[in-house]
Structure 1
Amino acid sequence: MNTRFRTVRSRLAFTLVELLVVIAIIGVLVGLLLPAVQAAREAARRMQCSNNLKQLGLAIHNYHGTFQQFPANIGTDKDLWEGSNRTSNASWLTMILPQIEESAAYEQFTFSGTDFTDTGSGTNYNWEVMSNLRVPGYNCPSNPMPNERTHTATAGTQAIGAPETYNIQIPDYVANVGFYFRPGADSFAWDRYYANTATWTGYGWLQDDGFLSIINNVFQKRRFSSVTDGTSHTLAVGEHSNFLHHFDGTKQDSRPGRGAGGAWAAWPSHFEWSSASGRTSNVTVPRYPNNSLYANNYTQKDENTLHNGYRSAHTGGVQFVMGDGSVRFITDSVDFVNVFPALAGRADGYVIREEH
């Protein structure tokens, strides 16, 4: 009997149909998992942003413990009028550098006879430290905008060794210095003007009703004792880490610290109206709700105005550090007429009671 042997070759590859099925399955799995991965990443970024704000709150408390006052934008005195020395001084973000473990950088700053914005005919003796200094905690990781701006040095600054242009940091956090309307009101209370707690500068209402302030010879040093509404009910610092969106679908960077001098400059912050001196930065007096669309008012979007407000890339609201150092997520749906102004004022007599 003849026995026949047949060799069977094992198949070592997928057929085209099998390969397409595997690719389709992988595609479905990726489609299912990607939103979860993105959500997890955003949750981590939001947690980091919350930690940044927590550190800012702690720095403010430590500053107060050292100097018995809150950090502030260093403004220009009221008696320095047009034609006088109205150079920009340091911002509150500069003043707290030692409290966020940046003492070495802070000690390199010059605070007298310099212009932190490096504009006009001024000379910025701090251009080098400003161009080298980057504080990661001053930026939200969810921010879609650039963290730096390119600044053109004045002739005076170039004369002391600066290049024609240099980069400086733009911060995503802005100090609360008051409310536009009193809680429940829809018009500005002029008694605040006559009491020297607020004035129109040409760039918005410069005022002294918030947790932090601007120091000049009208607005005085603020302490915890001046927060009579309670530190847990008063906003200290909030996010401005997303674009301002317009009704036509366009968008723009409206951060209060994106102008000349970036994070480190206060601008003149003059108390009275002036075509040049009324500008300020890195602080806000919100006139419009969080994450609101552009309302066709220049004080909402210009780089040196007071009413840019709060914005966040975190869906549904904005993160804040309160006066007591706690971090809260305040939704976009918060009552902006009655509740939010009460949170922005430190001594307005309106206290928000939480219901549990």
Structure 2
Amino acid sequence: MMYRTKAFTLVELLVVIAIIGVLVALLLPAVQQAREAARRMSCSNNLKQLALSTHNFHDTFGALPSGYPDSVLSNTGNPEFAWNVYLFPHLELNNEYEALGVTQYKLYEILDALGDKAGSTSVASYPTQFQPFVQATSSLISVWNCPSSVNELFTSFSDGTFTDAGGTSYSNRYRRDEGVATTTYVGNAGRADNAGTKDGYGIFNYNNQVRFRDVTDGTSNTFLIGEKGIAGSTKDTPSWLGTPKSPGNTIPASCVVSMVNFPLNPGISDPNTERFAFSSFHPGGALFAYVDGSVHFISETISYDTDPSALGAYQKLGDRRDGQTLGEF
């Protein structure tokens, strides 16, 4: 008696492989969408925490922190700690707040003392009193960074010009290998000018503390904090620490605020839109925390009017006191 060995034919094997390939191809987008949904939820939670911390700050001091203060008005090269830093005690970041030396020094005093050291400089090589500052600013703080971002890192504390290993030149960037105080969340400066010195009737402006009562359009109709992040951008990577220079001195305050003068998610094209616009790594739009503490996803197709005399829904959401009916968006 003869026995036949059971086996697959080559055609059957190829068919099975093809079916598996199709199933994997169908599954991968679903997995990616699920991961992005999880990252977006985490990003929304970050913004919620930041918004609640602004409410705690307001309850304590009667106003929100100034967006980017500068006490030496006669010298536009003396920036101070930005609005973000003053929220640290309300975000359970007390150790980092103390390490920064906020109550002892101005930001420009620290940066002047640190000097333009190479990115490979060890923490121990910095002045002893500022080593905690270097350590604190060289760490990535999760609540300040969207999980969908590429977490671009600065590479030194200098505000001069440098060239990276790939030959790309950058200017006016804090620089250090570990990454200096990076964030993907910036304050709403409304419709401020590019120099950042004009009150654009946003929430975080130059040398100006806003109170909730100043938001006459309603706290549920006004942006508080939004996302900023463009893959491959080399223009003013956002930082929770402050600006490399004060407004009006070559580089504006676009490291800590964005404006609704430009459309949402403009991409990399014009340096102005790249620097000053809100943007995100989420497809189709960006997340915003409103002054009332709520968080909403805003589509990049939201109405935006290029006529300076008119305002689209997007611009109205950025202006705390435009006095116009918002409508659907």
TM-score by length of 2: 0.77
Residue 10 of structure 1 and its aligned partner are, at CA, apart by 4.5
- Structure that is richer in strand per residue: 1
Residue 315 of structure 1 and its aligned partner are, at CA, apart by 2.1
2:273 aligned partner: 300
Q: Secondary structure at the match of 1:269?
A: coil
Aligned equivalent of 2:242, options 249, 253, 265:
265
Aligned equivalent of 2:137, options 90, 107, 130:
130
Residue 70 of structure 1 and its aligned partner are, at CA, apart by 0.8
How many residues are treated as equivalent by the alignment?
A: 291
1:8 aligns with 2:15: no
Q: Secondary structure at the match of 1:207?
A: coil
Residue 320 of structure 1 and its aligned partner are, at CA, apart by 0.6
Q: 2: distance between equivalents of 1:31 and 1:173? A: 34
Q: Which has the larger radius of gyration?
A: 1
Aligned equivalent of 2:233, options 248, 252, 256:
252
Q: Secondary structure at the match of 1:70?
A: coil
Do the aligned residues in 2 keep the contact of 1:88 with 1:117 (CA within 8 Å)?
A: no
Which ranges in structure 1 are unaligned for 5 or more consecutive residues? 1-5, 155-162, 181-199, 244-250, 303-307
Which ranges in structure 2 are unaligned for 5 or more consecutive residues? 116-129, 160-174, 306-310
2:94 aligned partner: 103
1:167 aligned partner: 179
Aligned equivalent of 2:48, options 40, 43, 54:
54
Q: 1: distance between equivalents of 2:25 and 2:254? A: 47
Matches within 5 A, 1:154-303: 166-180=178-192, 203-204=195-196, 206-207=198-199, 209-215=201-207, 219=208, 221-243=209-231, 251-254=232-235, 256-257=237-238, 262-270=239-247, 273-275=248-250, 279=253, 281-294=255-268, 296=270, 298-302=271-275
Residue 350 of structure 1 and its aligned partner are, at CA, apart by 2.1
How has the CA–CA distance of structure 1 residues 146 and 118 changed in structure 2, closer, same or farther, with 3 Å as cutoff? farther
Q: 2: distance between equivalents of 1:254 and 1:80? A: 27
How has the CA–CA distance of structure 1 residues 27 and 171 changed in structure 2, closer, same or farther, with 3 Å as cutoff? same
Aligned equivalent of 1:315, options 283, 292, 300:
283
Residue 290 of structure 1 and its aligned partner are, at CA, apart by 0.6
Residue 27 of structure 1 and its aligned partner are, at CA, apart by 0.6
1:73 aligns with 2:73: no
Q: 1: distance between equivalents of 2:301 and 2:51? A: 24
Give the counterpart letter for 2:199 in structure 1.
Answer: Q
Q: Secondary structure at the match of 2:42?
A: helix
Q: 2: distance between equivalents of 1:326 and 1:231? A: 9
Q: 2: distance between equivalents of 1:256 and 1:69? A: 27
Residue 267 of structure 1 and its aligned partner are, at CA, apart by 4.2
1:32 aligns with 2:26: yes
Aligned equivalent of 1:349, options 318, 323, 328:
323
Q: 2: distance between equivalents of 1:347 and 1:77? A: 27
How has the CA–CA distance of structure 1 residues 116 and 286 changed in structure 2, closer, same or farther, with 3 Å as cutoff? farther
Aligned equivalent of 2:293, options 284, 308, 325:
325
Q: Residue deviations 1:298-345, cap 9 Å, x none?
A: 43345xxxxx21112222212111111111111112121222221111
1:340 aligned partner: 314
Q: 2: distance between equivalents of 1:344 and 1:24? A: 51
Do the aligned residues in 1 keep the contact of 2:266 with 2:273 (CA within 8 Å)?
A: no
Q: 2: distance between equivalents of 1:275 and 1:346? A: 27
Runs of 4+ in structure 1 displaced over 6 angstroms? none
Q: Residue deviations 1:201-241, cap 9 Å, x none?
A: x73554251122333xxx3x221111111000000011113
User: What RMSD in Å do the two structures reach over aligned CA positions?
Assistant: 2.9
Q: Secondary structure at the match of 1:108?
A: helix
Residue 268 of structure 1 and its aligned partner are, at CA, apart by 4.7
Q: 2: distance between equivalents of 1:280 and 1:118? A: 21
TM-score by length of 1: 0.72
Q: 2: distance between equivalents of 1:320 and 1:40? A: 21
Do the aligned residues in 2 keep the contact of 1:203 with 1:299 (CA within 8 Å)?
A: no
Q: 2: distance between equivalents of 1:98 and 1:50? A: 21
Q: 2: distance between equivalents of 1:291 and 1:153? A: 29
Residue 68 of structure 1 and its aligned partner are, at CA, apart by 1.6
Residue 354 of structure 1 and its aligned partner are, at CA, apart by 4.4
Residue 172 of structure 1 and its aligned partner are, at CA, apart by 0.8
How has the CA–CA distance of structure 1 residues 275 and 288 changed in structure 2, closer, same or farther, with 3 Å as cutoff? closer
Q: 1: distance between equivalents of 2:145 and 2:227? A: 9
Give the counterpart letter for 2:55 in structure 1.
Answer: H
- Structure that is richer in helix per residue: 2
What is the percentage of aligned positions where both structures have the same residue? 33
